[in-house]
Structure 1
Amino acid sequence: MKKVFTGLLLTSMFFVAFPADAATTQIKIDDVIVKSDTAPEQRSNRIMVPLRVISENLGAQVHWKDSQITLAMNKTLIVLNLNNKTVMKNDKTEQLDVQPYMKNNRTYVPIRFIAETFGSQVQYNQGTVSITSEPLLLDNKKIKALRYEYQMTMGGVIQDIKGNAYHKALYQVFQQKGNKVEAPKEYSWQINLDIPGSYSKRGQYRFMSDDTNTVKQFDIYSLNTAFPDELLQGHPHHLLHDVFEDSWYIFTDQAVQSIKQLINNAATNGFSTIISNTVA
Protein backbone atom coordinates (compact mmCIF):
# COMPACT_ATOMS: atom_id res chain seq x y z
CA MET A 1 0.00 0.00 0.00
CA LYS A 2 1.43 3.34 -0.99
CA LYS A 3 0.66 6.64 0.64
CA VAL A 4 1.97 9.85 -0.87
CA PHE A 5 2.01 13.20 0.88
CA THR A 6 3.06 16.05 -1.39
CA GLY A 7 3.17 19.42 -0.33
CA LEU A 8 4.26 21.90 1.98
CA LEU A 9 6.85 21.07 4.34
CA LEU A 10 8.29 23.96 6.28
CA THR A 11 12.01 24.21 5.75
CA SER A 12 13.41 22.93 8.80
CA MET A 13 11.51 22.53 11.83
CA PHE A 14 11.84 21.48 15.31
CA PHE A 15 15.07 20.30 16.55
CA VAL A 16 17.01 18.86 18.88
CA ALA A 17 18.67 17.35 21.85
CA PHE A 18 17.46 19.27 24.88
CA PRO A 19 17.08 18.11 28.47
CA ALA A 20 13.58 19.58 28.75
CA ASP A 21 10.53 17.36 28.45
CA ALA A 22 9.45 17.31 24.79
CA ALA A 23 5.78 17.41 25.77
CA THR A 24 6.33 20.93 27.13
CA THR A 25 8.36 22.11 24.12
CA GLN A 26 6.83 24.94 22.10
CA ILE A 27 7.66 25.08 18.41
CA LYS A 28 7.97 28.39 16.58
CA ILE A 29 8.64 28.67 12.87
CA ASP A 30 9.30 32.09 11.39
CA ASP A 31 7.92 33.64 14.60
CA VAL A 32 4.68 31.63 14.42
CA ILE A 33 3.73 29.17 17.16
CA VAL A 34 2.89 25.89 15.44
CA LYS A 35 -0.44 24.31 16.37
CA SER A 36 -0.59 20.52 16.51
CA ASP A 37 -2.95 18.01 18.09
CA THR A 38 0.06 15.86 18.99
CA ALA A 39 2.98 17.11 21.06
CA PRO A 40 6.61 16.34 20.19
CA GLU A 41 8.16 13.39 22.00
CA GLN A 42 11.62 12.82 23.38
CA ARG A 43 13.57 9.65 22.59
CA SER A 44 17.24 9.17 23.44
CA ASN A 45 17.50 12.88 24.19
CA ARG A 46 16.21 13.79 20.73
CA ILE A 47 12.97 15.55 19.75
CA MET A 48 10.62 13.45 17.58
CA VAL A 49 7.59 14.83 15.71
CA PRO A 50 4.77 13.20 13.71
CA LEU A 51 5.41 12.92 9.98
CA ARG A 52 2.08 14.62 9.29
CA VAL A 53 3.30 17.76 11.04
CA ILE A 54 6.28 17.81 8.68
CA SER A 55 4.26 17.02 5.56
CA GLU A 56 1.98 20.00 6.19
CA ASN A 57 4.63 22.46 7.35
CA LEU A 58 7.91 21.95 5.48
CA GLY A 59 8.98 23.07 2.03
CA ALA A 60 9.52 19.55 0.72
CA GLN A 61 7.68 16.58 -0.66
CA VAL A 62 7.04 13.58 1.56
CA HIS A 63 6.47 10.09 0.18
CA TRP A 64 5.55 7.25 2.52
CA LYS A 65 5.60 3.68 1.20
CA ASP A 66 5.39 0.66 3.50
CA SER A 67 8.04 1.42 6.16
CA GLN A 68 10.11 3.78 4.02
CA ILE A 69 9.85 7.57 4.22
CA THR A 70 11.33 9.84 1.54
CA LEU A 71 11.77 13.58 2.09
CA ALA A 72 12.75 15.77 -0.86
CA MET A 73 13.42 19.47 -1.11
CA ASN A 74 15.38 21.31 -3.77
CA LYS A 75 18.29 18.98 -4.55
CA THR A 76 18.33 17.23 -1.18
CA LEU A 77 16.83 13.75 -0.74
CA ILE A 78 16.49 11.89 2.56
CA VAL A 79 15.34 8.27 2.85
CA LEU A 80 14.36 7.01 6.31
CA ASN A 81 13.05 3.63 7.44
CA LEU A 82 10.88 2.78 10.44
CA ASN A 83 12.75 1.20 13.35
CA ASN A 84 16.08 1.67 11.59
CA LYS A 85 18.86 4.14 12.35
CA THR A 86 20.36 3.92 8.86
CA VAL A 87 19.46 6.84 6.63
CA MET A 88 20.33 7.76 3.04
CA LYS A 89 21.12 11.41 2.37
CA ASN A 90 21.76 12.17 -1.29
CA ASP A 91 22.86 8.54 -1.87
CA LYS A 92 25.24 8.58 1.11
CA THR A 93 24.62 6.38 4.14
CA GLU A 94 24.56 7.89 7.63
CA GLN A 95 23.48 6.74 11.09
CA LEU A 96 20.79 8.50 13.13
CA ASP A 97 20.98 8.87 16.90
CA VAL A 98 17.38 7.62 17.16
CA GLN A 99 15.26 5.61 14.75
CA PRO A 100 11.87 6.66 13.32
CA TYR A 101 8.95 4.76 14.86
CA MET A 102 5.18 4.28 14.73
CA LYS A 103 2.92 5.21 17.64
CA ASN A 104 -0.88 5.48 17.71
CA ASN A 105 -0.91 5.06 13.94
CA ARG A 106 1.46 7.99 13.49
CA THR A 107 5.02 7.97 12.23
CA TYR A 108 7.53 9.92 14.34
CA VAL A 109 10.80 11.19 12.89
CA PRO A 110 13.85 12.94 14.38
CA ILE A 111 13.68 16.64 13.73
CA ARG A 112 17.30 17.55 14.41
CA PHE A 113 18.61 15.56 11.47
CA ILE A 114 15.94 16.91 9.12
CA ALA A 115 16.51 20.51 10.25
CA GLU A 116 20.27 20.31 9.78
CA THR A 117 19.98 18.56 6.44
CA PHE A 118 17.54 21.04 4.91
CA GLY A 119 19.43 23.94 6.46
CA SER A 120 17.76 26.36 8.82
CA GLN A 121 18.65 28.44 11.83
CA VAL A 122 17.49 26.78 15.03
CA GLN A 123 17.56 28.19 18.55
CA TYR A 124 16.30 26.89 21.88
CA ASN A 125 15.36 29.16 24.76
CA GLN A 126 13.38 28.27 27.89
CA GLY A 127 11.21 25.55 26.37
CA THR A 128 10.80 27.11 22.93
CA VAL A 129 12.41 25.78 19.77
CA SER A 130 12.61 28.64 17.25
CA ILE A 131 13.27 27.95 13.59
CA THR A 132 14.01 30.64 11.03
CA SER A 133 13.83 29.56 7.39
CA GLU A 134 14.85 31.34 4.21
CA PRO A 135 12.20 33.82 3.04
CA LEU A 136 10.67 34.04 -0.40
CA LEU A 137 12.39 36.78 -2.43
CA LEU A 138 10.40 38.62 -5.08
CA ASP A 139 12.04 41.55 -6.88
CA ASN A 140 14.85 41.26 -4.31
CA LYS A 141 12.41 41.91 -1.47
CA LYS A 142 11.71 39.52 1.40
CA ILE A 143 8.07 38.48 1.59
CA LYS A 144 6.66 38.90 5.09
CA ALA A 145 3.05 37.85 4.53
CA LEU A 146 0.56 36.77 1.90
CA ARG A 147 -2.62 38.82 2.31
CA TYR A 148 -5.60 36.77 1.13
CA GLU A 149 -9.01 38.35 0.62
CA TYR A 150 -12.34 36.94 -0.48
CA GLN A 151 -15.82 38.42 -0.66
CA MET A 152 -19.22 36.92 0.03
CA THR A 153 -22.74 38.23 -0.48
CA MET A 154 -22.80 39.98 2.89
CA GLY A 155 -19.19 41.02 3.50
CA GLY A 156 -15.66 39.75 3.16
CA VAL A 157 -12.66 38.31 4.98
CA ILE A 158 -9.03 39.44 4.88
CA GLN A 159 -6.32 37.30 6.42
CA ASP A 160 -2.53 37.21 6.50
CA ILE A 161 -0.69 33.96 5.82
CA LYS A 162 2.70 33.76 7.54
CA GLY A 163 5.50 31.22 7.16
CA ASN A 164 8.18 31.25 4.46
CA ALA A 165 7.39 27.75 3.23
CA TYR A 166 3.72 28.64 2.71
CA HIS A 167 4.73 31.72 0.72
CA LYS A 168 7.05 29.68 -1.49
CA ALA A 169 4.51 26.91 -2.05
CA LEU A 170 1.68 29.32 -2.88
CA TYR A 171 3.83 31.39 -5.24
CA GLN A 172 4.90 28.20 -7.02
CA VAL A 173 1.25 27.29 -7.65
CA PHE A 174 0.60 30.72 -9.16
CA GLN A 175 3.45 30.04 -11.59
CA GLN A 176 1.55 26.99 -12.89
CA LYS A 177 -0.58 29.25 -15.06
CA GLY A 178 -1.71 28.12 -18.49
CA ASN A 179 -1.91 29.91 -21.81
CA LYS A 180 -2.20 33.67 -21.91
CA VAL A 181 -5.65 34.92 -22.90
CA GLU A 182 -7.52 38.17 -23.37
CA ALA A 183 -9.22 39.72 -20.38
CA PRO A 184 -12.89 38.69 -20.06
CA LYS A 185 -15.46 41.24 -21.15
CA GLU A 186 -17.13 41.25 -17.74
CA TYR A 187 -15.47 40.55 -14.39
CA SER A 188 -15.89 41.81 -10.81
CA TRP A 189 -16.24 40.69 -7.19
CA GLN A 190 -19.97 40.23 -7.71
CA ILE A 191 -21.69 37.43 -9.65
CA ASN A 192 -23.29 38.85 -12.77
CA LEU A 193 -26.38 36.83 -13.71
CA ASP A 194 -27.13 38.96 -16.77
CA ILE A 195 -24.08 38.36 -18.99
CA PRO A 196 -23.03 34.86 -20.13
CA GLY A 197 -19.26 34.49 -19.97
CA SER A 198 -18.88 36.86 -17.01
CA TYR A 199 -16.43 36.08 -14.22
CA SER A 200 -16.50 36.72 -10.47
CA LYS A 201 -13.37 37.14 -8.37
CA ARG A 202 -12.76 34.08 -6.24
CA GLY A 203 -9.87 35.52 -4.26
CA GLN A 204 -7.20 38.19 -4.15
CA TYR A 205 -3.64 37.32 -3.13
CA ARG A 206 -1.02 39.97 -2.34
CA PHE A 207 2.59 39.08 -1.53
CA MET A 208 3.73 41.78 0.91
CA SER A 209 7.22 42.84 1.92
CA ASP A 210 8.54 43.86 5.35
CA ASP A 211 7.42 47.44 4.73
CA THR A 212 3.87 46.15 3.99
CA ASN A 213 4.10 47.13 0.32
CA THR A 214 2.57 44.73 -2.20
CA VAL A 215 5.30 43.17 -4.34
CA LYS A 216 3.09 40.85 -6.42
CA GLN A 217 -0.65 40.38 -6.71
CA PHE A 218 -2.67 37.58 -8.28
CA ASP A 219 -6.46 37.42 -8.56
CA ILE A 220 -8.39 34.24 -9.34
CA TYR A 221 -11.67 34.51 -11.24
CA SER A 222 -14.26 31.79 -11.82
CA LEU A 223 -16.80 31.57 -14.61
CA ASN A 224 -20.39 32.31 -13.65
CA THR A 225 -22.12 29.06 -14.59
CA ALA A 226 -25.79 30.05 -14.09
CA PHE A 227 -26.38 29.89 -17.85
CA PRO A 228 -27.08 27.14 -20.41
CA ASP A 229 -23.97 25.18 -21.37
CA GLU A 230 -24.14 26.30 -25.00
CA LEU A 231 -23.67 29.92 -23.88
CA LEU A 232 -20.52 29.05 -21.91
CA GLN A 233 -18.62 27.11 -24.55
CA GLY A 234 -15.10 28.39 -25.09
CA HIS A 235 -14.91 30.07 -21.70
CA PRO A 236 -12.29 28.60 -19.29
CA HIS A 237 -13.68 27.76 -15.88
CA HIS A 238 -10.91 29.66 -14.04
CA LEU A 239 -8.71 32.61 -14.97
CA LEU A 240 -5.64 34.03 -13.25
CA HIS A 241 -4.98 37.77 -13.39
CA ASP A 242 -1.39 38.86 -12.82
CA VAL A 243 -2.27 42.35 -11.61
CA PHE A 244 1.18 43.93 -11.84
CA GLU A 245 1.65 42.70 -15.40
CA ASP A 246 -2.05 43.18 -16.19
CA SER A 247 -1.96 39.77 -17.91
CA TRP A 248 -4.60 37.04 -17.92
CA TYR A 249 -4.01 33.28 -18.01
CA ILE A 250 -6.01 30.08 -17.98
CA PHE A 251 -5.88 28.53 -14.51
CA THR A 252 -6.74 24.93 -13.70
CA ASP A 253 -9.14 23.62 -11.09
CA GLN A 254 -6.26 21.57 -9.68
CA ALA A 255 -4.24 24.74 -9.07
CA VAL A 256 -7.25 26.42 -7.42
CA GLN A 257 -7.73 23.43 -5.13
CA SER A 258 -4.01 23.35 -4.27
CA ILE A 259 -4.16 26.98 -3.16
CA LYS A 260 -7.25 26.26 -1.10
CA GLN A 261 -5.55 23.30 0.59
CA LEU A 262 -2.41 25.27 1.40
CA ILE A 263 -4.41 28.09 2.97
CA ASN A 264 -6.47 25.57 4.97
CA ASN A 265 -3.25 23.96 6.21
CA ALA A 266 -1.88 27.36 7.18
CA ALA A 267 -5.02 28.11 9.19
CA THR A 268 -5.03 24.70 10.89
CA ASN A 269 -1.37 24.97 11.87
CA GLY A 270 -1.57 28.53 13.19
CA PHE A 271 -0.05 30.43 10.25
CA SER A 272 -3.17 32.43 9.36
CA THR A 273 -4.39 35.58 11.12
CA ILE A 274 -7.75 37.25 10.42
CA ILE A 275 -7.21 40.96 9.69
CA SER A 276 -10.83 41.83 8.90
CA ASN A 277 -14.15 39.97 8.86
CA THR A 278 -17.25 41.85 7.73
CA VAL A 279 -19.36 38.82 6.88
CA ALA A 280 -22.80 39.39 8.37
Structure 2
Amino acid sequence: MKKKFILGASILALAIPTFVTANSNIRIWMKGNLIKSDVAPYIYQERTMVPLRVISENLGKEVTWDGAKRSVNIKDEKGNEFSLIIGGKFMEDISANVDRKIELDAPALIKDDRTFVPLRAIAEAFGERVDWDKDKRVVVIGEGYDTNKIKEEKKEVLDPLGLDYLYNKDMAGKSDEEKTQYEKAMRAQESKVFKGYKNGDVEGCLAWLSFAKAGEFFEPEQNKNPFLNPKKDGLGIGLTKRGEAMSGYEKTEGEDYYKRDCMGLASGPCVAGLEHFDYYINYDGTFSYFRLPLHYQGTAPEMLKEVKNIVAHPKKIKFIKADKSEIEKLLKTLVDAENDYKLKDLV
Protein backbone atom coordinates (compact mmCIF):
# COMPACT_ATOMS: atom_id res chain seq x y z
CA MET A 1 0.00 0.00 0.00
CA LYS A 2 1.32 3.42 -0.94
CA LYS A 3 1.03 6.46 1.27
CA LYS A 4 1.26 9.93 -0.29
CA PHE A 5 2.50 13.05 1.43
CA ILE A 6 3.67 16.54 0.46
CA LEU A 7 6.48 18.49 2.13
CA GLY A 8 7.51 17.52 5.65
CA ALA A 9 5.92 14.18 6.52
CA SER A 10 8.27 11.85 8.41
CA ILE A 11 9.38 8.55 6.96
CA LEU A 12 9.70 5.63 9.36
CA ALA A 13 13.26 4.97 10.50
CA LEU A 14 14.84 1.87 9.01
CA ALA A 15 18.61 1.86 9.50
CA ILE A 16 21.73 3.99 9.35
CA PRO A 17 25.42 3.10 9.49
CA THR A 18 27.06 3.54 12.87
CA PHE A 19 29.44 6.28 11.81
CA VAL A 20 28.64 9.37 9.80
CA THR A 21 30.27 12.76 10.02
CA ALA A 22 27.95 15.38 11.47
CA ASN A 23 28.32 18.83 9.88
CA SER A 24 25.73 21.08 11.47
CA ASN A 25 27.52 24.15 10.09
CA ILE A 26 26.74 23.21 6.48
CA ARG A 27 24.20 25.62 4.98
CA ILE A 28 22.06 25.42 1.86
CA TRP A 29 21.47 28.33 -0.50
CA MET A 30 18.62 27.72 -2.88
CA LYS A 31 17.42 30.13 -5.56
CA GLY A 32 18.19 33.36 -3.76
CA ASN A 33 17.95 32.47 -0.08
CA LEU A 34 19.52 30.44 2.68
CA ILE A 35 16.97 27.80 3.56
CA LYS A 36 16.21 26.40 6.99
CA SER A 37 16.18 22.72 7.85
CA ASP A 38 14.85 21.17 11.05
CA VAL A 39 17.56 18.51 10.79
CA ALA A 40 21.12 19.46 9.91
CA PRO A 41 22.75 18.28 6.66
CA TYR A 42 25.79 16.06 7.08
CA ILE A 43 28.61 14.55 5.06
CA TYR A 44 28.49 10.83 4.24
CA GLN A 45 30.96 9.17 1.87
CA GLU A 46 32.17 12.66 0.90
CA ARG A 47 28.69 13.68 -0.25
CA THR A 48 26.30 16.22 1.26
CA MET A 49 23.17 14.50 2.57
CA VAL A 50 20.05 16.60 3.12
CA PRO A 51 16.62 15.74 4.51
CA LEU A 52 14.14 15.03 1.72
CA ARG A 53 11.92 17.69 3.27
CA VAL A 54 14.35 20.29 1.90
CA ILE A 55 13.72 19.05 -1.64
CA SER A 56 9.95 18.84 -1.27
CA GLU A 57 9.50 22.22 0.41
CA ASN A 58 11.90 24.31 -1.61
CA LEU A 59 11.83 22.72 -5.05
CA GLY A 60 8.10 22.06 -5.09
CA LYS A 61 8.34 18.27 -5.42
CA GLU A 62 5.72 15.74 -4.47
CA VAL A 63 6.97 12.76 -2.49
CA THR A 64 5.45 9.30 -2.11
CA TRP A 65 6.63 6.69 0.39
CA ASP A 66 6.11 2.98 -0.34
CA GLY A 67 6.54 1.12 2.93
CA ALA A 68 6.38 -2.34 1.37
CA LYS A 69 9.20 -1.63 -1.07
CA ARG A 70 11.01 0.79 1.25
CA SER A 71 11.22 3.22 -1.63
CA VAL A 72 10.64 6.91 -2.25
CA ASN A 73 9.13 8.46 -5.38
CA ILE A 74 9.77 12.11 -6.19
CA LYS A 75 8.01 13.94 -9.00
CA ASP A 76 7.27 17.46 -10.16
CA GLU A 77 4.49 19.21 -12.04
CA LYS A 78 6.37 18.79 -15.33
CA GLY A 79 5.97 15.02 -15.19
CA ASN A 80 9.52 14.19 -14.13
CA GLU A 81 9.49 11.30 -11.67
CA PHE A 82 12.25 9.37 -9.94
CA SER A 83 12.26 6.41 -7.59
CA LEU A 84 14.94 5.33 -5.15
CA ILE A 85 15.18 2.59 -2.54
CA ILE A 86 16.60 3.28 0.93
CA GLY A 87 20.18 2.05 0.89
CA GLY A 88 20.13 1.51 -2.88
CA LYS A 89 22.93 2.49 -5.26
CA PHE A 90 20.67 3.66 -8.07
CA MET A 91 17.79 6.06 -8.70
CA GLU A 92 15.34 5.10 -11.44
CA ASP A 93 13.91 7.64 -13.86
CA ILE A 94 10.30 6.47 -14.21
CA SER A 95 9.00 9.50 -16.06
CA ALA A 96 6.59 8.83 -18.95
CA ASN A 97 8.30 6.97 -21.80
CA VAL A 98 11.59 6.87 -19.86
CA ASP A 99 13.29 3.83 -18.39
CA ARG A 100 16.83 4.48 -17.14
CA LYS A 101 18.92 4.08 -14.00
CA ILE A 102 21.04 6.84 -12.49
CA GLU A 103 23.92 5.77 -10.28
CA LEU A 104 23.92 7.59 -6.92
CA ASP A 105 27.17 8.85 -5.42
CA ALA A 106 25.72 7.97 -1.99
CA PRO A 107 22.61 5.93 -1.04
CA ALA A 108 19.47 7.39 0.53
CA LEU A 109 19.52 6.80 4.30
CA ILE A 110 17.35 7.20 7.39
CA LYS A 111 18.72 9.38 10.20
CA ASP A 112 16.87 11.00 13.11
CA ASP A 113 13.54 9.79 11.68
CA ARG A 114 14.20 11.65 8.45
CA THR A 115 15.03 10.41 4.98
CA PHE A 116 18.33 11.87 3.79
CA VAL A 117 19.29 11.94 0.13
CA PRO A 118 22.45 12.98 -1.76
CA LEU A 119 21.64 16.58 -2.63
CA ARG A 120 23.59 16.86 -5.88
CA ALA A 121 22.08 13.71 -7.43
CA ILE A 122 18.50 14.69 -6.62
CA ALA A 123 18.82 18.35 -7.60
CA GLU A 124 20.61 17.65 -10.86
CA ALA A 125 18.09 14.96 -11.80
CA PHE A 126 15.48 17.73 -11.85
CA GLY A 127 17.73 20.05 -13.86
CA GLU A 128 19.03 22.17 -11.00
CA ARG A 129 22.64 23.39 -10.96
CA VAL A 130 24.58 22.52 -7.79
CA ASP A 131 27.83 24.11 -6.56
CA TRP A 132 29.83 24.14 -3.32
CA ASP A 133 31.31 27.17 -1.58
CA LYS A 134 34.04 25.50 0.47
CA ASP A 135 35.08 28.70 2.26
CA LYS A 136 31.61 29.48 3.61
CA ARG A 137 30.56 25.79 3.65
CA VAL A 138 27.43 26.52 1.62
CA VAL A 139 25.74 24.18 -0.86
CA VAL A 140 24.51 26.32 -3.77
CA ILE A 141 21.46 25.33 -5.82
CA GLY A 142 20.45 27.46 -8.78
CA GLU A 143 21.82 30.73 -10.19
CA GLY A 144 22.64 34.14 -8.75
CA TYR A 145 24.66 33.10 -5.73
CA ASP A 146 26.80 35.87 -4.19
CA THR A 147 29.31 34.67 -1.61
CA ASN A 148 29.71 38.22 -0.28
CA LYS A 149 26.12 38.16 0.96
CA ILE A 150 26.73 35.09 3.08
CA LYS A 151 27.76 36.03 6.59
CA GLU A 152 30.28 33.91 8.42
CA GLU A 153 28.64 31.75 11.06
CA LYS A 154 29.91 32.14 14.58
CA LYS A 155 31.24 28.77 15.62
CA GLU A 156 30.31 27.87 19.15
CA VAL A 157 33.20 26.44 21.12
CA LEU A 158 31.64 23.99 23.53
CA ASP A 159 34.86 23.00 25.20
CA PRO A 160 38.18 24.89 24.97
CA LEU A 161 39.99 21.61 25.58
CA GLY A 162 38.76 20.21 22.26
CA LEU A 163 36.32 17.74 23.86
CA ASP A 164 33.16 18.87 22.05
CA TYR A 165 31.95 15.27 21.90
CA LEU A 166 31.14 15.46 25.62
CA TYR A 167 28.24 17.74 24.62
CA ASN A 168 26.96 15.80 21.60
CA LYS A 169 23.29 15.59 22.55
CA ASP A 170 22.53 13.50 19.46
CA MET A 171 24.31 10.58 21.16
CA ALA A 172 22.20 10.66 24.33
CA GLY A 173 19.42 8.57 22.81
CA LYS A 174 21.64 6.07 21.02
CA SER A 175 22.10 2.45 22.08
CA ASP A 176 24.82 1.44 24.53
CA GLU A 177 26.71 -0.23 21.70
CA GLU A 178 26.59 2.92 19.55
CA LYS A 179 27.75 5.05 22.47
CA THR A 180 30.63 2.69 23.13
CA GLN A 181 31.81 2.78 19.50
CA TYR A 182 31.48 6.55 19.34
CA GLU A 183 33.41 7.09 22.57
CA LYS A 184 36.13 4.72 21.42
CA ALA A 185 36.55 6.67 18.17
CA MET A 186 36.50 10.10 19.86
CA ARG A 187 38.95 9.14 22.60
CA ALA A 188 41.37 7.67 20.09
CA GLN A 189 41.71 10.95 18.21
CA GLU A 190 44.79 13.08 18.75
CA SER A 191 44.08 16.10 20.94
CA LYS A 192 43.83 19.33 18.96
CA VAL A 193 44.87 21.30 22.04
CA PHE A 194 47.51 19.15 23.76
CA LYS A 195 50.22 17.88 21.45
CA GLY A 196 51.25 14.28 21.98
CA TYR A 197 48.11 13.29 23.85
CA LYS A 198 44.80 11.73 22.86
CA ASN A 199 41.33 13.03 23.65
CA GLY A 200 40.93 10.16 26.09
CA ASP A 201 43.90 11.38 28.11
CA VAL A 202 42.52 14.91 28.25
CA GLU A 203 39.03 13.68 29.10
CA GLY A 204 40.33 11.60 32.02
CA CYS A 205 42.24 14.57 33.46
CA LEU A 206 39.16 16.77 33.11
CA ALA A 207 37.06 14.17 34.93
CA TRP A 208 39.64 14.03 37.75
CA LEU A 209 39.53 17.80 38.24
CA SER A 210 35.73 17.84 38.01
CA PHE A 211 35.55 15.11 40.64
CA ALA A 212 37.65 17.21 43.02
CA LYS A 213 35.61 20.34 42.30
CA ALA A 214 32.48 18.41 43.29
CA GLY A 215 34.19 17.37 46.56
CA GLU A 216 33.82 13.64 45.89
CA PHE A 217 37.25 12.36 46.88
CA PHE A 218 37.55 10.50 50.19
CA GLU A 219 40.22 12.82 51.54
CA PRO A 220 39.31 16.51 51.98
CA GLU A 221 42.87 17.49 51.07
CA GLN A 222 42.51 15.75 47.72
CA ASN A 223 39.42 17.79 46.96
CA LYS A 224 41.31 20.98 47.82
CA ASN A 225 44.39 19.93 45.87
CA PRO A 226 43.64 17.37 43.10
CA PHE A 227 47.33 17.39 42.13
CA LEU A 228 48.44 15.99 45.50
CA ASN A 229 48.39 12.26 44.77
CA PRO A 230 49.23 12.44 41.05
CA LYS A 231 52.32 14.51 41.85
CA LYS A 232 53.67 11.71 44.04
CA ASP A 233 52.17 8.59 42.49
CA GLY A 234 51.08 9.47 38.96
CA LEU A 235 47.57 9.33 37.52
CA GLY A 236 46.25 6.12 36.04
CA ILE A 237 43.51 6.16 33.39
CA GLY A 238 42.05 2.73 32.70
CA LEU A 239 39.14 1.35 30.73
CA THR A 240 36.60 -1.28 31.64
CA LYS A 241 35.23 -2.47 28.33
CA ARG A 242 31.60 -3.11 27.45
CA GLY A 243 30.81 -6.79 27.97
CA GLU A 244 33.18 -7.36 30.89
CA ALA A 245 31.88 -9.14 33.96
CA MET A 246 30.82 -6.75 36.71
CA SER A 247 32.18 -8.97 39.46
CA GLY A 248 35.37 -9.85 37.63
CA TYR A 249 34.51 -13.53 37.85
CA GLU A 250 33.10 -14.76 34.54
CA LYS A 251 31.75 -17.99 36.03
CA THR A 252 29.82 -16.41 38.89
CA GLU A 253 26.22 -17.59 38.75
CA GLY A 254 23.86 -14.78 37.77
CA GLU A 255 26.75 -12.70 36.43
CA ASP A 256 25.94 -9.36 34.79
CA TYR A 257 28.08 -7.43 32.33
CA TYR A 258 28.92 -3.81 31.68
CA LYS A 259 26.71 -2.30 28.99
CA ARG A 260 28.99 0.70 28.45
CA ASP A 261 32.71 1.32 28.41
CA CYS A 262 33.65 2.88 31.75
CA MET A 263 36.70 5.08 32.25
CA GLY A 264 38.46 4.41 35.51
CA LEU A 265 40.77 6.90 37.24
CA ALA A 266 43.09 6.09 40.11
CA SER A 267 45.96 7.63 42.07
CA GLY A 268 47.32 6.84 45.50
CA PRO A 269 50.30 5.55 47.44
CA CYS A 270 48.75 2.13 48.07
CA VAL A 271 45.64 0.10 47.42
CA ALA A 272 44.16 0.91 50.80
CA GLY A 273 44.50 4.64 50.27
CA LEU A 274 43.60 4.64 46.60
CA GLU A 275 41.57 7.53 45.25
CA HIS A 276 39.50 6.05 42.44
CA PHE A 277 36.23 6.12 40.53
CA ASP A 278 34.68 4.83 37.28
CA TYR A 279 32.44 6.88 35.02
CA TYR A 280 30.59 7.13 31.71
CA ILE A 281 29.54 10.14 29.63
CA ASN A 282 25.97 11.51 29.52
CA TYR A 283 26.54 13.86 26.51
CA ASP A 284 25.10 16.89 28.29
CA GLY A 285 28.35 18.06 29.83
CA THR A 286 28.08 15.64 32.75
CA PHE A 287 29.32 12.19 33.65
CA SER A 288 27.89 9.53 35.98
CA TYR A 289 30.28 7.81 38.33
CA PHE A 290 30.31 4.87 40.73
CA ARG A 291 32.87 3.33 43.06
CA LEU A 292 33.26 -0.38 43.65
CA PRO A 293 34.58 -1.57 47.04
CA LEU A 294 38.24 -2.50 47.31
CA HIS A 295 37.22 -5.59 49.32
CA TYR A 296 34.02 -7.63 49.50
CA GLN A 297 32.43 -9.47 52.39
CA GLY A 298 30.10 -12.42 52.08
CA THR A 299 29.34 -14.94 49.35
CA ALA A 300 29.72 -14.55 45.59
CA PRO A 301 25.97 -13.94 45.06
CA GLU A 302 26.03 -11.28 47.77
CA MET A 303 29.06 -9.66 46.15
CA LEU A 304 27.39 -9.67 42.73
CA LYS A 305 24.23 -8.15 44.18
CA GLU A 306 26.27 -5.36 45.78
CA VAL A 307 28.16 -4.62 42.55
CA LYS A 308 25.00 -4.52 40.44
CA ASN A 309 23.34 -2.17 42.92
CA ILE A 310 26.32 0.22 42.92
CA VAL A 311 26.55 0.32 39.12
CA ALA A 312 22.78 0.82 38.83
CA HIS A 313 22.87 3.91 41.08
CA PRO A 314 25.63 6.21 39.81
CA LYS A 315 26.01 9.84 40.83
CA LYS A 316 26.07 12.61 38.24
CA ILE A 317 28.82 15.24 38.11
CA LYS A 318 29.26 18.20 35.77
CA PHE A 319 32.45 18.57 33.76
CA ILE A 320 34.08 21.84 34.81
CA LYS A 321 35.56 24.40 32.41
CA ALA A 322 39.11 23.62 33.43
CA ASP A 323 42.04 25.88 32.77
CA LYS A 324 44.43 24.60 30.11
CA SER A 325 47.42 24.88 32.44
CA GLU A 326 45.68 22.65 35.03
CA ILE A 327 45.08 19.94 32.44
CA GLU A 328 48.70 20.17 31.29
CA LYS A 329 49.82 19.73 34.87
CA LEU A 330 47.83 16.52 35.21
CA LEU A 331 48.77 15.20 31.76
CA LYS A 332 52.42 15.26 32.80
CA THR A 333 51.63 12.89 35.68
CA LEU A 334 49.93 10.24 33.53
CA VAL A 335 51.01 6.63 34.03
CA ASP A 336 49.61 3.44 32.51
CA ALA A 337 46.99 1.67 34.53
CA GLU A 338 46.94 -2.14 34.72
CA ASN A 339 48.31 -3.71 31.56
CA ASP A 340 44.95 -5.16 30.57
CA TYR A 341 43.31 -1.75 30.67
CA LYS A 342 45.78 0.58 28.95
CA LEU A 343 43.64 3.27 27.44
CA LYS A 344 45.95 3.93 24.50
CA ASP A 345 45.91 0.25 23.51
CA LEU A 346 42.13 -0.02 23.67
CA VAL A 347 41.12 3.16 21.91
Question: Into which bin does the TM-score normalised by the smaller protein fall?
Answer: 0.3 to 0.5
TM-score (norm 2): 0.33
Q: Hey, which of these two has a bigger chunk of strand by percent?
A: 1
TM-score (norm 1): 0.40
Q: Hey, which of these two has a bigger chunk of helix by percent?
A: 2
Structure of larger gyration radius? 2
Higher relative contact order (CA 8 A, sep 6+): 1
